[in-house]
Structure 1
Amino acid sequence: MGWWNIPDQKDAVIGDAVLDSIRHFLKEFSHEYIEDLGRKPTLLELEYALSLAFKVNVDDEIASGMEELEIKQVVLKTAKRPKRFKPVPGDLFAFRYDEQRYGFGRLISKLSMGMVAEIYDYFSAQPIFDPNYADKWLISPVVLNPYGLFECRNEGEWLIIGKTPSYVVPDKFNDVFFVTGTPGKLQAVRVNNSDFDISLEEATGHRRYTYSSDVQIKDLITDALKNK
């Protein structure tokens, strides 16, 4: 399990598995309200539950330095959520692949429909990318719906985690294209949004010009991992 120092607290650390445990707790907490009351808990209810649980359960067996102390109250501070910026080419993103891992990729270019994205052969327990893996694809490039995944967040868990100002599409995308049309009238759509006619034979092995959903991306990754 990875551990790292808490910012500005050199003697305090946090780890991947610890954050996962807390995330599971929060999901279970919310699930109980939804299951029995048909709604999500309020922030006040979460704050009160944490205060009560910490006061009753946190002692010197749970945390150091608690031999003569007790927790009186847990206070949750809020702030206005930062404005969500529109995804743009060059943005590095993370997405939850399963309960243990995040996958990573980069938005490459805008098309008439969606955006081209590359998916890297790298996973992490936290949405923190290792740039040493930025040159290795796990699957061939796909077309994503950035509005649904990153702005509305109506599928899975997709996050923009980095920006690349003045991003230039690498030469390795020169031969990448997506296929649209019907047999006899097939067209290829390049990463730069230009198109040209192709034969059925030339189209073989290339992805269709259509969105890949959260579930479809995960299925493609699962198949790729099985075949590695």
Structure 2
Amino acid sequence: MNNLKIWKWNKKPRTMIRFIKNGDIFCFTFNKEKYYFGRIISKSIVGHIAEIFNFYSESPSIDENKIKSAKSLTPPFIIDSYLLFDKKYESDSDWQIIGHQENYKPTNMDDIYFSYGAENSRKKIDIWGNEYSITEKESMNIPILTPYSSYHIKKILEKFSIE
């Protein structure tokens, strides 16, 4: 993970959606005692595809080495980046971009897809925006192309136990 830059919480309390980039490192409040961290993988037609790292902190500051050794806690999913970073409509959580990894290239993501479409015209889309036609049956095993709010992400994280 070369060229990783981390800055302090509240340096950029709001990031307009057009400035969110692949490789951005973010932090968000889970509750008063936990801050989770993650990375923007790529842009999607409905938000940004992100991963949440396998650790949390009691403060929004993080050591660069911790991020360099981080693994994904959850499979990638789509976040409502407009709601979370730009307009900041969610009152139960604060999301901020706190760093950036220059020249970030996602790896091991060839089998990450999201599905959309009406019956008999289903499609799957990968993290790079490539679309493929699929059957109704195939679509049942692929996550739906929909952005998650802070509420949804917290529900996902409650299923994982990390210390």
TM-score, normalising length: structure 2: 0.79
Q: Which residue of 1 aligns with 2:21?
A: 88
Indicate the structure (1 or 2) with the bigger Cα radius of gyration.
Answer: 1
Q: How big is each residue's C-alpha offset from its partner over 1:29-58, in whole Å with a ceiling of 9 and x where there is no partner?
A: xxxxxxxxxxxxxxxxxxxxxxxxxxxxxx
Q: How does 1:1-228 map to 2 (within 5 A)?
A: 84=15, 86-129=19-62, 130-134=66-70, 136-155=71-90, 156-170=93-107, 172-225=108-161
For 2:148 and 2:101, the matched residues in 1 are separated by 23
Checking the alignment, whether the CA contact within 8 Å between 2:48 and 2:81 is kept in structure 1 is yes
Identical aligned residues as a percent:
28
Checking the alignment, whether the CA contact within 8 Å between 1:181 and 1:187 is kept in structure 2 is yes
Q: Give the 3 Å change call, closer, same or farther, for CA 128–200 of structure 1 in structure 2.
A: farther
Task: Please identify which structure carries the higher helix content.
Answer: 1
Q: Give the 3 Å change call, closer, same or farther, for CA 82–142 of structure 1 in structure 2.
A: closer
For 2:158 and 2:14, the matched residues in 1 are separated by 33
Gaps of 5+ in 2: 1-11
Q: Which amino acid aligns with 1:161?
A: I
Q: Give the 3 Å change call, closer, same or farther, for CA 188–99 of structure 1 in structure 2.
A: same
Checking the alignment, whether the CA contact within 8 Å between 1:122 and 1:133 is kept in structure 2 is no
RMSD: 2.2
For 1:185 and 1:193, the matched residues in 2 are separated by 17
Checking the alignment, whether the CA contact within 8 Å between 1:95 and 1:104 is kept in structure 2 is yes
Q: How big is each residue's C-alpha offset from its partner over 1:34-86, in whole Å with a ceiling of 9 and x where there is no partner?
A: xxxxxxxxxxxxxxxxxxxxxxxxxxxxxxxxxxxxxxxxxxxxxxx898462
Checking the alignment, whether the CA contact within 8 Å between 1:121 and 1:133 is kept in structure 2 is no
Q: How many residues align?
A: 144
For 2:131 and 2:13, the matched residues in 1 are separated by 38
